[in-house]
């Protein structure tokens, strides 16, 4: 029902009556995505705002801040501008184009970024972190909490516990139904542990994981499955 795709590829276009090759990033969205709210997991229909957020996040990670989105004569197309330079665009396909492609009853949104131009604007000051030398360890926690407890509140509590070896936490599953009491929900949380100077052992991870579980039990009255 939903698609969210990207591709990086060389693209050819006419410039001064001659073909010109450039490296571009293409993104396409259609359908919906799942988001977490205080009411649990909900569906949100894709829109140009989702593309805008993706583009802003990507360019900010590349060091390009102050991105502008400008609309011209074609209200359906939005130019992506940095320091007065057009570095891409995003649009929602018009209904007649979708019908010609036999796409019915759905919206389709696309974006294209001109990577060669973006890389030239990044300058030489950008630094990239090396890939981790040592593997990560993933451990899950499955908890049952009251339905009105926000998923993001749980993640914030985990991230604020001050464990330096905990690099990431995310909710990977949500369940309501049989075996879960009325007014409660089951969440599965993935915790990623990694050290920059050694391979971690279970003996190191277990006490940290237990402390995180204790925080969830104390702060949210969580029970464990």
Q: Quick one: 150 and 92 in the same domain?
A: no
In a domain, 131, yes or no: no
Asked if residues 176 and 149 have their Cβ atoms less than 8 Å apart, the reply is no
Q: Which pLDDT score, from 0 to 100, does residue 124 have?
A: 45
Asked if residues 86 and 24 have their Cβ atoms less than 8 Å apart, the reply is no
In a domain, 107, yes or no: yes
Q: Quick one: 113 and 146 in the same domain?
A: no
- State the CATH number of the domain containing residue 196: 3.30.70.380
Q: Which residue has the tokens 């795709």?
A: 5
Q: Which pLDDT score, from 0 to 100, does residue 63 have?
A: 84
Question: Is residue 160 very low, low, confident or very high in pLDDT (cuts 50, 70, 90)?
Answer: confident
Strand order in the sheet with 184-193: 166-175, 184-193, 137-146, 223-224
pTM, entire model: 0.56
| Pairing verdict, β 32-37 and 18-30 | unpaired
- Mean pLDDT of the residues in the chain: 86
Distance between CA atoms of 122 and 63, rounded to whole angstroms? Answer: 7
Q: Which of 50, 185, 177, 156 is nearest to 111 (CA)?
A: 50
Q: Quick one: 105 and 150 in the same domain?
A: no
Q: Which pLDDT score, from 0 to 100, does residue 95 have?
A: 85
Distance between CA atoms of 153 and 174, rounded to whole angstroms? Answer: 15
In a domain, 129, yes or no: no
Residue 55 buriedness (CB in 10 A; 0-12 / 13-18 / 19+): buried
CA distances, 32 to each of 73, 109, 117, 190 (Å): 28, 12, 31, 23
Asked if residues 184 and 175 have their Cβ atoms less than 8 Å apart, the reply is no
Q: Quick one: 78 and 20 in the same domain?
A: yes
Is pLDDT at 114 greater than 80 in this prediction? Answer: yes
Which domain, by its residues, includes 219? 137-224
Asked if residues 152 and 210 have their Cβ atoms less than 8 Å apart, the reply is no
In a domain, 204, yes or no: yes
Number of domains in the chain: 2
Of the residues 95, 122, 149, the one at which a domain ends: 122
Per cent of the chain over pLDDT 90 is: 41
Asked if residues 166 and 158 have their Cβ atoms less than 8 Å apart, the reply is yes
Q: Quick one: 96 and 142 in the same domain?
A: no
């Amino acid at each position: 029902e939903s698609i969210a795709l990207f591709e990086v590829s060389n693209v050819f276009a006419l410039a001064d009556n001659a073909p010109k090759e450039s490296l571009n990033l293409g993104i396409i969205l259609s359908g919906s995505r799942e988001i977490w709210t205080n009411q649990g997991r909900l569906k949100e229909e894709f829109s140009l705002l989702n593309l805008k957020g993706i583009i802003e996040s990507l360019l900010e990670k590349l060091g390009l801040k102050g991105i502008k989105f400008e609309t011209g004569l074609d209200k359906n197309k939005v130019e992506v501008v940095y320091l007065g330079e057009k570095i891409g665009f995003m649009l929602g396909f018009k209904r007649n184009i979708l019908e010609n492609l036999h796409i019915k009853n759905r919206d389709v949104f696309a974006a294209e970024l001109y990577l060669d131009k973006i890389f030239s604007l990044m300058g030489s000051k950008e630094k990239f972190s090396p890939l981790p030398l040592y593997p990560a360890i993933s451990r899950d926690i499955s908890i049952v909490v009251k339905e009105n407890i926000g998923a993001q509140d749980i993640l914030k509590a985990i991230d604020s516990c001050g464990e330096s070896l905990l690099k990431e936490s995310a909710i990977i599953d949500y369940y309501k139904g049989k075996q879960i009491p009325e007014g409660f929900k089951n969440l599965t949380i993935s915790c990623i542990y990694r050290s920059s100077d050694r391979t971690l052992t279970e003996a190191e991870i277990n006490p940290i994981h237990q402390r995180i579980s204790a925080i969830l039990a104390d702060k949210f009255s969580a029970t464990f499955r």
